[in-house]
Amino acid sequence: MNRHAPWVWLPVAAISTSVYATTYLSVEQAQQTIFPGATFTQAFVALTDDQKREIERRSGVEVSNKEVRLWKVGGVGYFIVDEVIGKHEFITYAIGLNADGSVKQIEIMVYRESYGYEVRNAAWRRQFVGKTTGDAVSLNQDIRNISGATLSSRHVADGVRRVLATYVVALK
Amino acid sequence: MLSPSSSLRRARALLGTMVEIKATGADQVLSAAVDAAFAEIERVQRLMSFHDPGSDVSLLNRFAYKRVVKVDPMTWAVLARAHEIAKVSGGAFDVTVAPQLVKWGLLPAADGAADLEVKQDGYRRIELLEDCVRFREPAQLDLGGIAKGYAVDRAARALEEHGIRDYVINAGGDLRVGATAEAIHVRHPACPQRLIPVGMLRAAAIATSADYFTRKKVGGRRVHAIVAPSDGRPATPHASVSVVAAECMTADALTKVTALRGERAVSVLARFDAEGILIDYRGVRRLNSSLRSTASSSGVDAERALP
C-alpha cells in the first residue's frame, strides 16, 4: 500500500446523522443543462382523476401528486420536474423530453436521505414541499463522501415511467 | 495566468444506484469533462448490465457456451481483471455466482440461470481468447461485483483526459478521489444512518460491501448479495467491508474476497497493494494498512461510534 500512500492523516469527527441533503441543480440550472439556450414557458397542468388512474395503469406506479411541474421548451420539447420517495430517499429530478415524447436527458436536482420515522412522517415530508432549491434543507451538507450503497435509481426509474405515461395521457 | 476555475457537482441514476461526480477545474472544460465522465459510465452500463438483453454480458450468457463471442475491449479488460483476482484469491472472487443470486431474487431470472451450478472455481468455465470469450461449460456471468468500480475508473480517466485533477466520483459507495484529499465515511453496518469516518483519501479508490440494503429472508434464512463460490452460502451478515486500492475496479472486487475471508484476505490484499477495513460488532479493523501512527486515533474514534 505504501506505493500509493492514499491516506492523509487528519483528525475527523465521528458523525451520527439521520438527514442528509445535497442540491445539485436549481430549476434554472437543470433547464440550461438539458436544453442549453432554450426558452421555457411554464404550463400549469393538473391531472383529472381519470388521467391519474390511466397513468397508474400504464406505468404501474402510483401518482401521488396530480400537479405536473411542466415547462414547454420553445418548440423542441418539454421540461418536467418530478419527485420520487424511496424507503430512505427523497429525490427531485428533472426530465427533458424531445418533441416526440422520447427522453432527452435526466438530471438529479436534489437528493435527500433519512432513516426511520422521518420518511413516513407527513409533517416532516411537508417541510420540503413547495421549497425552491434556494431554500432547500441542507443539513450536514459537508458530509458527502459516503462509501456505502443506496438504492435510489430504481425509484427514479419508476418516476420516469410515470412521467412518460403522463406525457402520453395528459400532454401529447 | 491561470484560467478561472470552479466546481461542479452532478448526479445521475446509473448502474442501479445514484452516481455523483464532483469536479473542480477550468471553467471552459469542466462541464464537458463531467458529461464525458457520465458518458463513459453509461457505456460501461450498456456493455456490462446483467439486465440489459443487448449487453455483452447478456450475449455471453446466451451464446458463449455454443460459440466464441466477440466482446468490447472494455468488457474484456474487466473479465481479465476478474480472472486475475479470482486466481489470486483461490476463487473467493467469482463472476459465475449469479445463479445463486437469481435463486434468492437478488437478480432477475434469465433463461435457465437458476438451474446452473455455483461451484468452487466456477470462473474457470470462462475462457478468454484474443478479444473474444467462450464458456467451456454452461455458466451465468454477472459482472455486478466489479463493473461498477470499472465504470468509476473510466469516468476518472475521462476527467483526467480533460485536465481535471480534483474530483470525487461516487457510484453508490464505489468511490474514487483525485489529487486533493477528501474525508471518507462508511455507513455503520447495523445502523446505516450513522457514518463512521475512515480517514482522508487522496489519489485512490475505496469500495464498500455491506448487506444493509440487499439483505432479505429466503426460506427463513438471511441472504444477501455476497455468496461463497465454494458452497453458495452468504457471507457473514451485519458486517461492512471496505477496500482501498489504486483502482476502483480492484477495490470493488476485493471487497467480496474480504467479506468472505475476513482477516485471512490480507495476503490477497497485499498482492494488489490494497487495504481492507472491516467493521462489525467487534469494531473497526484494518488489514494491510498503510496508516501507521494513526490507528490509535482515527481507529479509536471510529470504534467509539459503534454501540
What is the SS3 assignment for chain A?
CCCCCCEECCCCCCEECCEEEEECCCHHHHHHHHCCCCCEEEEEEECCHHHHHHHHHHHCCCCCCCEEEEEEECCCEEEEEEEEECCCEEEEEEEEEECCCCEEEEEEEEEEEECCHHHHCHHHHHCCCCCCHHHCCCCCCCCCCEECCCCHHHHHHHHHHHHHHHHHHHHC
Task: Specify if B71 maps to a domain.
Answer: yes
pLDDT category of residue B35 using cuts at 50, 70 and 90:
very high
Residues from chain A contacting residue B293 (CB–CB below 8 Å): 9
Interchain contact, A12 vs B298, CB within 8 Å:
yes
Task: Render the burial of A25-44: b for 16+ CB within 10 Å, e for the rest.
Answer: bebeebbebbbeebebeeee
Interchain contact, B18 vs A114, CB within 8 Å:
no
Pairing of strands B182-188, A146-147: parallel
The residue of A3, A147, A156 whose CB has the most chain B CBs within 10 angstroms, and thus the best one to mutate to test that interface, is A147
Q: Are residues B115 and B187 in the same domain?
A: no
User: Given this model, what pLDDT does residue B75 score?
Assistant: 97
Task: Specify if B4 maps to a domain.
Answer: no
Q: Are residues B209 and B152 in the same domain?
A: no
Residue of chain B minimizing CA distance to A8: B200
Q: Report phi then psi at A107, rounded to 5.
A: -130, 135
Q: For residues B76 and B47, is the Cβ–Cβ distance under 8 A?
A: no
Task: Specify if A169 maps to a domain.
Answer: no
Alpha-carbon separation of residue B11 from A4, A108, B43, B217, B224 (angstroms): 28, 5, 16, 32, 27
State how far residue B56 is from chain A, nearest Cα, in angstroms. Answer: 22
Domain of B115, in residue numbers: 56-135
DSSP 3-state of B32: helix
Q: Give the residue carrying C-alpha cell 458530509.
A: A143
Interchain contact, A145 vs B186, CB within 8 Å:
no
A62, pLDDT greater than 60: yes
Q: Are residues B209 and B96 in the same domain?
A: no
A141, pLDDT greater than 50: no
Interchain contact, B192 vs A5, CB within 8 Å:
no
Pick the residue with more confidence: B94 or B292? B94
Q: For residues B205 and B248, is the Cβ–Cβ distance under 8 A?
A: yes
Q: Are residues B37 and B161 in the same domain?
A: yes
| CATH code of residue B109 | 1.10.3980.10
In a 13 Å sphere around the CA of B168, the CA atoms on its Cβ side amount to: 24
Lookup: cell for B219: 426460506
Q: Among A24, A115, A153, whose Cβ lies nearest the Cβ of B9?
A: A24
Question: How far apart, in whole angstroms, are the C-alpha atoms of residue A9 and residue B88?
Answer: 31
The residue of A18, A108, A145, A156 whose CB has the most chain B CBs within 10 angstroms, and thus the best one to mutate to test that interface, is A145
A116 and chain B in contact, CB less than 8 A: yes
Q: Which residues pair with A82 in a beta bridge?
A: A93
Q: Give the residue carrying C-alpha cell 422521518.
A: A118
State how far residue A27 is from chain B, nearest Cα, in angstroms. Answer: 14
Neighbours of A133 (CB within 10 A): 17
Q: Are residues B69 and B192 in the same domain?
A: no
Task: Specify if A151 maps to a domain.
Answer: no
User: Given this model, what pLDDT does residue A44 score?
Assistant: 86
Q: Among B13, B168, B305, whose Cβ lies nearest the Cβ of A108?
A: B13
Domain of A122, in residue numbers: 19-141
In a 13 Å sphere around the CA of B151, the CA atoms on its Cβ side amount to: 33
B304, pLDDT greater than 60: no
**What element of type H or E holds B160?**
helix B147-161
Task: Specify if A88 maps to a domain.
Answer: yes
Task: Specify if B2 maps to a domain.
Answer: no
The residue of A2, A4, A7, A151 whose CB has the most chain B CBs within 10 angstroms, and thus the best one to mutate to test that interface, is A7
**Percentage of the residues of chain A whose pLDDT score is greater than 70:** 67
Which of A79-93, A110-124, B72-86, B234-248 has the least mean pLDDT?
Answer: A110-124
Tell whether ipTM is more than 0.85.
no
**What element of type H or E holds B175?**
strand B174-177
B22, pLDDT greater than 80: yes
Question: How far apart, in whole angstroms, are the C-alpha atoms of residue B172 and residue A151?
Answer: 8
Q: How many domains does one find in chain A?
A: 1
Q: Are residues B203 and B154 in the same domain?
A: no
Terminal alpha carbon distance of chain B: 53
Residue of chain B minimizing CA distance to A16: B194
Q: Are residues B129 and B216 in the same domain?
A: no
Interchain contact, B297 vs A11, CB within 8 Å:
yes
- Residue whose C-alpha is closest to residue B301's, from B202, B195, B176: B195
Residues from chain B contacting residue A133 (CB–CB below 8 Å): none
Lookup: cell for A130: 413547495
Q: By CB neighbour count within 10 A (0-12 exposed, 13-18 middle, 19+ buried), where does B117 fall? A: middle
Q: Among B13, B212, B305, whose Cβ lies nearest the Cβ of A153?
A: B13
Q: What's the pTM? A: 0.82
Q: Among B13, B168, B198, whose Cβ lies nearest the Cβ of A157?
A: B13
pLDDT category of residue B105 using cuts at 50, 70 and 90:
low
Residues from chain A contacting residue B195 (CB–CB below 8 Å): 14-17, 143, 146
Residues from chain B contacting residue A114 (CB–CB below 8 Å): 193
Q: Among A108, A115, A154, whose Cβ lies nearest the Cβ of B11?
A: A108
State how far residue A142 is from chain B, nearest Cα, in angstroms. Answer: 10
State how far residue A107 is from chain B, nearest Cα, in angstroms. Answer: 6
Which of A126-135, B104-113, B160-169 has the least mean pLDDT?
Answer: A126-135
Question: How far apart, in whole angstroms, are the C-alpha atoms of residue A39 and residue B242?
Answer: 46
Task: Specify if B15 maps to a domain.
Answer: yes
